[in-house]
Amino acid sequence: MHIHILGICGTFMGSLAVIAKQLGHQVSGSDKNVYPPMSTQLEGLGIDLMEGYHHSHLQPEPDLVIIGNALSRGNSAVEYVLNKGLVYTSGPQWLAQFVLHDRWVLGVAGTHGKTTTSAMLAWILEYAGARPGYLIGGVTNNFEQSAALGESSFFVVEADEYDTAFFDKRSKFVHYRPRSAILNNLEFDHADIFEDLAAIEKQFHHLIRTVPGNGLVITPYQDSTLEAVLAQGCWTSRQQFGLDVPEEVCNLLAANGGVFWNAEMACSHGAEFEVVKYGQGSTGQVLGRSLIQWQISGRHNVKNAMAAIAAAHHAGIDVATATAALREFKGVKRRMELLGKVEGVHVYDDFAHHPTAIETTLEGMAAKLKSAPEHSRLIAVIEPRSNTMKLGVHQEDLVNACQAADMIVWQKPEKSGIDFQKLLADSATPAYAFDRVEDIVRYLEESSMPGDHIVVMSNGGFDGIHQKLLQALSYSP
């Protein structure tokens, strides 16, 4: 079967293309923007990529067109599919129908941390010899590809709350029907499709309704928004995880809920912590401890790890094996990925789409730098590219999100609801804003110093700023 994917370079659709290829289909695809790392992965698999959305890409006619949620009515390729009566479906529907229908699905949902947690969980299962299938919205460093069919009943899927397609406005994750469901967190996002937080909560409760009674729902301790969702009804057993929760609280939660997972932090930046499993009893009891020292930093990643360990345990993986796997976890591309060091200046790439993601990443990096022998400046270079940020919804949150940095450099989108003049004036950290990437590169070339750590934050290609910056720094006098 010839499958053509519209929006193929998106993190989800690109991973879908990998699985379709593994199923033996002929796969091609179109996208408005074709850029690494997804384009590199797909081209390496022999998948034909085409720039733009042209009628010619659908000639000769494919047997099936999978339409990504970034495309809407009015798009020339979409209109061609409808006018010609071509067979089409959505990515989540195709995945559910042809891949997930007979699998033990482990779904990872939440506003933040989905990709990293999914990658951790898939790696734990792989390390344990379970040979899982997986679909992760990014390219991981422990796997050659972002998706695989696997060789067992287990399938890990990044469960996104964004809508399915222009013809199906439900969240993607309602299609997946997980047996093990991680709900990492829940905040307001995607203001382009959700009116308010209540609208997102409704979709999350739809997800909870699909988890079977013999499944498991895993949530963080004291997340008021998720507690409100669960209060609407939950028909499945539940486990919680937390960081540095007092022992007496852990015992109480374990006694009431069966199992509670606690991370005892050995350092502020999260490079070392102990996983403690509390089990059910009259007063609760410690059922196991295991130390993790790893390459990853940030309290948010410790939380991601705890959720992954709990889900893997539900699938039969013991704590010692899970923690051993995480000691070898190498992270995900575009999540604080070091791209290069030039003249003493470190340049990182980070996929940031929300103020909380920006804040937790910068706080983790700042804590790590403070523990270094010599002090280094942390410079955040941010493209507020997500629809929600561009609308100006998070104006005040963006001010607070960046305070762990020593300097902030903003790229101003062409059309934006953000008041950059106010954003700069309200910032307690030195902040600057530029219209063009070239101006940002020139400014950083002139102002950066040896020892600086520059974190480039965007959920898009950012006009190739990473390599432009590395090249400019290499030619600095």
User: Given CA atoms 69, 73, 79, 85 in this order, what sign does their dihedral have?
Assistant: positive
Residue 258 lies in a domain: yes
CA distance 438 to 431: 17
Find residue 182's DSSP bridge partners.
108, 218
Q: Which domain holds residue 170?
A: 102-327
The answer on 374 and 309 residing in a single domain is: no
The answer on 238 and 198 residing in a single domain is: yes
User: Helix, strand, or coil here: 279?
Assistant: strand
CA distance 207 to 212: 11
- The encoded tokens of residue 99 equal 């891949």
Residue 332 lies in a domain: no
Judge whether 172 is annotated as a binding position.
no
Identify the CATH number of the domain in which residue 353 sits: 3.90.190.20
- For 363, the enclosing helix (H) or strand (E) is helix 355-370
What is the pLDDT tens value at each position of the chain, 477 positions in all?
Answer: 999 999 998 888 999 999 999 999 999 999 998 777 778 888 888 999 999 999 999 999 999 999 999 999 999 999 999 999 999 999 999 999 999 999 999 999 998 888 999 999 999 999 999 999 999 987 788 998 889 999 999 999 999 888 999 999 999 999 999 999 999 988 877 666 778 888 999 999 999 999 999 999 999 999 999 999 999 999 999 999 999 999 889 988 888 768 999 999 888 777 889 999 998 754 458 888 898 988 887 888 899 999 999 999 999 999 999 999 999 998 777 777 888 888 888 998 887 767 877 887 888 788 778 766 566 889 999 888 776 666 666 777 887 888 888 899 988 887 777 888 888 888 888 888 898 989 999 999 888 888 889 999 887 778 788 888 888 888 654
Contact 19, 149 (CB under 8 A): yes
Residue 143 lies in a domain: yes
The answer on 169 and 86 residing in a single domain is: no
Judge whether 360 is annotated as a binding position.
no
CA distance 325 to 19: 24
Contact 193, 229 (CB under 8 A): no
Identify the CATH number of the domain in which residue 238 sits: 3.40.1190.10
Residue 97 lies in a domain: no
Query: DSSP assignment, residue 8?
Result: T
The answer on 212 and 166 residing in a single domain is: yes
The answer on 126 and 87 residing in a single domain is: no
The answer on 287 and 424 residing in a single domain is: no
The total number of structural domains that make up the chain? 3
- Among 50, 74, 92, the domain boundary falls at 92
CA distance 49 to 43: 7
| Axis-axis angle for helices 299-314, 355-370 (nearest 10) | 110
Judge whether 112 is annotated as a binding position.
yes
User: Helix, strand, or coil here: 374?
Assistant: coil
Contact 134, 149 (CB under 8 A): no
Residue 426 lies in a domain: yes
C-alpha radius of gyration, the chain, whole number = 22
The answer on 377 and 282 residing in a single domain is: no
Residue 456 lies in a domain: yes
Judge whether 429 is annotated as a binding position.
no
Judge whether 110 is annotated as a binding position.
yes
Distances in whole angstroms, Cα of residue 101 to Cα of each of 108, 155, 376? 17, 11, 50
The answer on 316 and 235 residing in a single domain is: yes
- Among 259, 294, 327, the domain boundary falls at 327
The answer on 250 and 119 residing in a single domain is: yes
The answer on 424 and 316 residing in a single domain is: no
- Among 42, 62, 92, the domain boundary falls at 92
The answer on 119 and 31 residing in a single domain is: no
- The strand order across the sheet containing 285-293 reads 147-148, 133-135, 154-158, 104-109, 180-183, 216-220, 237-243, 259-265, 272-279, 285-293
Residue 257 lies in a domain: yes
Distances in whole angstroms, Cα of residue 126 to Cα of each of 102, 139, 172, 251, 351? 19, 16, 25, 31, 25
- The encoded tokens of residue 324 equal 């051993």
Residue 415 lies in a domain: yes
CA distance 390 to 189: 12
Identify the CATH number of the domain in which residue 14 sits: 3.40.50.720
The answer on 349 and 302 residing in a single domain is: no
Contact 115, 11 (CB under 8 A): yes
Judge whether 114 is annotated as a binding position.
yes
Prediction pTM value: 0.79
